[in-house]
Structure 1
Amino acid sequence: MTAPLLTLEGVHTHIGAYHILHGVDLEVPRGQLTMLLGRNGAGKTTSLRTIMGLWHASQGRIHFDGKDITAGATPDISQLGIAYVPENMGIFADLSVKENMLLAARAARSVDDIDTKRLEWIFDLFPAMKKFWLHPAGKLSGGQKQMLAVSRAIVEPRKLLLIDEPSKGLAPAIIANMIAAFRELKQTDTTILLVEQNFNFAKQLGDTVAVMDDGKIVHRGQMAELAENEDLQTRLLGLSLAAHH
């Protein structure tokens, strides 16, 4: 067994007076897609933000690829090869799709510096990015903005993608496109930690799963096992797939 790419050990996070994470223990296996599930308010987004250094752990350790990043600054953590796609997508509405992509490609000074093969690969994943290349990002539909947010995160090779609720508010056809794109991403040895509320989305993509409740990890295992066990789904998430087709 290779060592996990990312580990959180006993991580606590306070935001002001609020104690959000209560000793999170999490392993993200290298080269796999790990789903982070849980009810609203369980601490999923806080976990991603803490990994990214946007909020700092008040206790515990975070290791990424053999390095301790617990107290790291967000730009330094990003330089190690981690990209974060927040729930609000973080795109620049007044800039074109092209300009958004160029900003995300840190090594590029102009679009000509972006790896052409990689750009074509992204256009294959998300044809709307090519179609609306010169359009202001703010004019894109919700689904297209989400595609742009993911495209920005993968414009350069990354070791780890942290993605917060990519299917939220999207039409079924767009979700199907997202699932196909993430499946392709999984073939590129990119490790992904993905927060999701849509269980159907999660079960189609996840290799491993961690379920959060009240700021702690309460279940870890294979996604396929959780997808087949309705009793466990109901106990952990208050749902069963039978009621959520």
Structure 2
Amino acid sequence: MSDVLTLSGVHTHIGAYHILHGVDLVVPEGKVTMLLGRNGAGKTTTLRTIMGLYRAGPGEIRFRGEPIHALATPDIAQRGIAYVPESMGIFSDLTVQENMVLAARGAAHAGALDTARLDWIFGLFPALKKFWLYPAGKLSGGQKQMLSVARAIVEPRALILIDEPSKGLAPSIVQNLIGAFRELKAQQTTILLVEQNFQMARALGDTVAVMDDGRVVHHGAMAELAEDQTLQQRLLGLSLGAHA
């Protein structure tokens, strides 16, 4: 099994604040890697640093063996990396359709979208088909989250970075997301997923990295962490079993 993404000794400063303190992280290709940790541990900063929204320094980030830490965000995206931020990152004044077209690098207009893939997305998130021509800003919070995820998967990606996708979603939609991510994994899409929904973490995760105070303090198999309540309590201050 090869590693699609590696972080080696990555530090990130935001203004006067030193957020990441030498992060080492390995993301195996074709797997779902969970990035867990208490609030403020540095999980979101790690995703934003991978995408070039924050500059790593010092440290090295490699995607398929090539360094990307000095690249601009659009150049990182061009390599097949998508990012679903916690803030969702949709364009509220544009329609659902227009949001999807903007996310599709190979489509200059709606008619150029991959119809088979679009039908698959509509199967996962029927509300997007229903509100296809509505301004995205008029969607509910859960529907906006669906659109954010749909934008990331409108075309095949090699790696998707996702920050708490289940936040604010009804349990039935969370199950749809789990199904969608499993299908993506079956298509050899690699996913790095920050998530506070431990049911989703346990259902999806192949490997896990746990962060604390800007560092990765544990990595291993998600199944092993899910079964070890003592380790959960030590690393996360809670039990996954209590959140099943």
What TM-score do you get using the length of structure 1 for normalisation?
Answer: 0.97
- Per the alignment, residue 82 of structure 1 pairs with 81
Q: Which amino acid aligns with 1:39?
A: R
Residue 52 of structure 1 pairs with residue 77 of structure 2:
no
The within-5 A match list for 1:132-151 is 132-151=131-150
Query: SS of the residue aligned with 2:155?
Result: coil
- Per the alignment, residue 155 of structure 1 pairs with 154
Query: By how many angstroms is 1:240 displaced?
Result: 0.7
Cα distance in 2 between the residues matched to 1:78 and 1:244: 34
5+ residue gaps, structure 1, are none
Query: SS of the residue aligned with 1:242?
Result: helix
Query: By how many angstroms is 1:53 displaced?
Result: 0.3
- Per the alignment, residue 42 of structure 2 pairs with 43
- Per the alignment, residue 206 of structure 2 pairs with 207
Query: SS of the residue aligned with 2:58?
Result: strand
Alpha-carbon displacement from aligned partner over 1:164-200 (angstroms, at most 9, x marks no partner): 0111122222212211221222111110000011112
Cα distance in 1 between the residues matched to 2:49 and 2:18: 13
Q: Taking every aligned residue pair, what percent have the same amino acid on both sides?
A: 73
Query: By how many angstroms is 1:241 displaced?
Result: 2.6
User: Which 10-residue stretch deviates more, 143-152 or 235-244?
Assistant: 235-244
- Kindly report the root-mean-square deviation, in angstroms, between the aligned alpha carbons of the 2 structures: 1.0
Off by >6 Å, runs of 4+ in structure 1: none
Cα distance in 1 between the residues matched to 2:149 and 2:242: 30
Residue 175 of structure 1 pairs with residue 174 of structure 2:
yes
Alpha-carbon displacement from aligned partner over 1:69-106 (angstroms, at most 9, x marks no partner): 01110000000000000000000111111010011112
Query: By how many angstroms is 1:30 displaced?
Result: 0.2
- Per the alignment, residue 196 of structure 1 pairs with 195
Q: Which amino acid aligns with 2:37?
A: G
- Per the alignment, residue 24 of structure 1 pairs with 23
Cα distance in 1 between the residues matched to 2:166 and 2:28: 23
What TM-score do you get using the length of structure 2 for normalisation?
Answer: 0.97
Query: By how many angstroms is 1:36 displaced?
Result: 0.2
User: Which 10-residue stretch deviates more, 163-172 or 207-216?
Assistant: 163-172
5+ residue gaps, structure 2, are none
- Per the alignment, residue 185 of structure 1 pairs with 184
